[in-house]
């Protein structure tokens, strides 16, 4: 049995239509109205094959415990098939649900939504550390010993209790309470502010990028792994590798030294244990030789330990370490997982900079702020910015913040907190607001005032004394997967607005597609494909026995930037009839002209070949 428990300010559902031909619960017409609840513990439940009364009793005890902890007023038991791929049959599930409902009614006011119906629903989760909890009862995880409760970091608990205030900081230096700001012309900022203040992280429906990543055969779920882990297919992997190469070159050119560190660390290491409780994230844990280890959620650990062992002087500062982590892991709660936006294993370009004092930290912070801004602008991803700062630090540095707000030229969200709940004294985040009006961090930089001492990292100052540095944490993109998520969500927005969806040319899996008018033109198309004109261009040939119209439609569906038709006229003229996706223009170009056009547009960007066969007839469908 799988449970997802959400403590909600508000929840509602309405039975719309039957989802099963048999096995559903009858719902009289008068009961098919909208049902609404306040201060409710919503328990999404999936009954699995093999579940019985023992699992029902365990589930009841777990729900009762959580109900008491969060102090909800009532329970809504909500059958939800999507938590498991090993479901019990309806004939087994319905009586077990009734049994669970009876157990819950013995200690709380409890309702149950109908089984076997499509239901519209909405939830407004409270957002405190215990408001979202997933649990597996029995099944393939059944063990004789009681399961250890998930360890939640001190920082996560403190974050829920911290007193903070939200403002909008405008380029002219005005600081206006977020609730009083006039958001006219800044609709995405309003949605971002609402998301940050209300902290509703769960999705009522599937984000559209998930459909697009599957349709374009980029990424798919891996059912044989834990939730939040994905398989990258050839089209998606070429995008991912290009982004990785580009950000790595950017940071190495910026002056970062590239390193590689382990993905698994000892829980008992004193510095690491302290850091875990100052970082607002959940960890995966593994056991080896009777010792507990955790999987890294960033490159901090390895880089900090290497910094500790290095001999560093003030002449080396600022000193920058960089690693592209394959992979970082965060044990996000099931209800927050949402495709490539929030997942449990991700590729993180992680840079840490050592600085000697606060003024140097501010200078480095501002330079990295510009790096992040230019990265997102270069990708064409619109973003909203948030600064977060401890109150005293903000009061001493208002002009510094105003200068950075002015640089972007539009108002941004500002959170001021009274007491630090983590290791940083200030940070910024550049966020993408998606089609569900939820925000995702694309870039961040933080000034860390603790971990120089925690990890005993030192440098020798100009007077020969040992000093602890301040550390800047920078993720130019917070995760490569988040970039792909934002690009696809932006494309989905363009589709909704009637615009042409597309990826930047340098990231398009196929940049040029050759379409022979008929089978007799395939041989010539193959010669064009193999010509030197298309060196460092991802080009393919649609040699399938399909109509010209279908081939053109498929190229449109694949978002191919340049589609070149090859027929009798093109063979005779040695020209290609090219359709340009971005402008809808049609041009007659030679192979050399088209190849140069693509290379010029991708100037200064990395190139990766596509590992799929260049002939569409020889490609599998994923």
Ordered DSSP codes for 462-504: TTS-EEPPEEEEEESSS-HHHHHHHHHHHHHHHHHTTPPP---
pLDDT tens-digit profile of 421-460?
788 999 999 999 999 999 999 999 999 999 999 999 999 9
- Please give the structure tokens belonging to residue 544: 């399938």
Instruction: Supply φ then ψ for residue 230, to 5 degrees.
Output: -130, 155
| Beta carbons within 10 angstroms of residue 461's beta carbon | 14
Quote the DSSP letter at residue 380.
Answer: T
* C-alpha to C-alpha distance for 406 and 315, rounded to whole angstroms: 32
pLDDT at 144: 35
Nearest to 491, CA basis, from 379, 386, 378? 379
pLDDT tens-digit profile of 32-65?
788 999 999 999 999 888 888 888 999 999 999 8
| Beta carbons within 10 angstroms of residue 330's beta carbon | 21
Tell me the pLDDT of the chain averaged across its residues.
90
- Which is more confident, 17 or 548? 548
Categorize the per-residue pLDDT at 507 as very low, low, confident or very high, splitting at 50, 70 and 90.
Answer: very high
Evaluate if residue 129 carries a pLDDT over 50.
yes
pLDDT at 155: 52
pLDDT tens-digit profile of 594-609?
999 999 999 999 999 9
User: Residue 384: beta bridge partners?
Assistant: 431
pLDDT at 148: 45
Sorted by where each starts, the structural domains of the chain and their CATH numbers stand as 2-149 (3.50.80.10), 186-206+255-263+296-489 (3.30.930.10), 506-618 (3.40.50.800)
pLDDT tens-digit profile of 188-211?
999 999 998 887 766 777 899 999
pLDDT at 278: 66
Evaluate if residue 140 carries a pLDDT over 70.
no
pLDDT at 139: 52
Give the percent of the chain with pLDDT over 90.
68
pLDDT at 552: 96
pLDDT tens-digit profile of 392-405?
999 999 999 999 99
Evaluate if residue 146 carries a pLDDT over 50.
no
Max Cα distance, the chain (Å):
84
Burial classification of residue 349, based on how many CB atoms lie within 10 Å of its CB (0-12 exposed, 13-18 middle, 19 or more buried): buried
Q: Is pTM beyond 0.85 here?
A: no
Give the pLDDT mean for 283-304.
Answer: 89
User: Residue 325: beta bridge partners?
Assistant: 348
């Amino acid at each position: 049995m799988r449970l997802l428990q959400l403590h909600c300010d508000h929840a509602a559902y309405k039975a719309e239509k039957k989802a099963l031909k048999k096995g559903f619960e009858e719902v009289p017409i008068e009961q098919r109205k909208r049902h609404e609840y306040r201060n409710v513990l919503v328990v999404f439940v999936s009954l699995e094959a093999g579940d019985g009364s023992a699992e029902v009793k365990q589930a009841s005890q777990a729900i009762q415990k959580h109900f008491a902890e969060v102090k909800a007023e009532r329970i809504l038991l909500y059958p939800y098939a999507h938590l498991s791929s090993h479901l019990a049959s309806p004939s087994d599930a319905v009586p077990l649900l009734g049994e669970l409902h009876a157990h819950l009614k013995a200690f709380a006011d409890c309702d149950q939504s109908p089984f076997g119906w499509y239901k519209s629903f909405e939830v407004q989760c409270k957002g405190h550390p215990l408001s979202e909890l997933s649990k597996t009862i029995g099944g393939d995880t059944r063990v004789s010993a009681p399961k250890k409760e998930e360890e939640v970091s001190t920082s996560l608990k403190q974050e829920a209790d911290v007193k903070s205030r939200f403002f909008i900081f405008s380029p002219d230096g005005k600081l206006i309470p977020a609730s009083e700001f006039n958001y006219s012309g800044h609709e995405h900022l309003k949605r971002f502010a609402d998301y940050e203040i209300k902290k509703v992280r769960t999705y009522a429906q599937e984000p559209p990028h998930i459909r697009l990543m599957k349709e374009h055969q980029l990424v798919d779920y891996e059912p044989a792994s834990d939730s939040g882990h994905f398989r990258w297919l050839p089209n998606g992997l070429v995008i991912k590798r290009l982004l990785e190469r580009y950000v790595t070159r950017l940071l190495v050119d910026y002056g970062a030294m590239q390193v590689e560190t382990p993905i698994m660390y000892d829980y008992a290491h004193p510095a690491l244990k302290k850091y875990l409780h100052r970082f607002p994230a959940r960890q995966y844990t593994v056991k080896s030789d009777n010792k507990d280890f955790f999987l890294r959620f960033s490159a901090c650990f390895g880089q900090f330990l290497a910094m500790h062992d290095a001999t560093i002087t003030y002449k080396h500062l600022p000193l920058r370490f960089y690693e592209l982590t394959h992979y970082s892991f965060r044990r996000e709660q099931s209800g927050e997982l949402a495709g490539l936006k929030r997942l449990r294993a991700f590729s993180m370009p992680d840079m840490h900079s050592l600085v000697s004092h606060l003024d140097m930290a501010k200078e480095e912070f501002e330079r990295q702020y510009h790096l992040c801004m230019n990265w997102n602008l270069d990708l064409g991803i619109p973003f909203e910015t948030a600064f977060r700062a401890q109150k005293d630090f903000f009061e001493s540095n208002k002009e510094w913040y105003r200068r950075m707000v002015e640089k972007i030229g539009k108002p941004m969200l500002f959170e001021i907190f009274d007491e630090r709940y983590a290791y940083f004294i200030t940070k910024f985040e550049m966020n993408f607001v998606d089609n569900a009006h939820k925000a995702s961090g694309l870039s961040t930089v933080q000034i860390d005032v603790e971990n120089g001492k925690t990890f005993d990292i030192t440098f020798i100052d100009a007077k020969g004394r040992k000093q602890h540095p301040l550390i800047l944490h920078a993720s130019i993109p917070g995760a490569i997967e988040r970039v792909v998520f934002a690009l696809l969500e932006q494309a989905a927005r363009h589709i909704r607005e009637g615009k042409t969806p597309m990826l930047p040319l340098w990231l398009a899996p196929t940049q040029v597609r050759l379409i022979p008018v008929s089978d007799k033109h395939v041989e010539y198309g193959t010669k064009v494909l193999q010509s030197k004109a298309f060196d460092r261009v991802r080009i393919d040939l649609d040699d399938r026995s399909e109509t010209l119209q279908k081939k053109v439609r498929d190229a449109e569906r694949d978002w191919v930037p340049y589609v070149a038709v090859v027929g009798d006229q093109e063979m005779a003229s040695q020209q290609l009839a090219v359709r340009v996706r971005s402008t809808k223009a049609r041009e007659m170009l030679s192979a050399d002209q088209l190849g140069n056009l693509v290379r010029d547009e991708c100037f200064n960007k990395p190139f990766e070949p596509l590992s799929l066969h260049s002939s569409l007839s020889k490609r599998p469908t994923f």
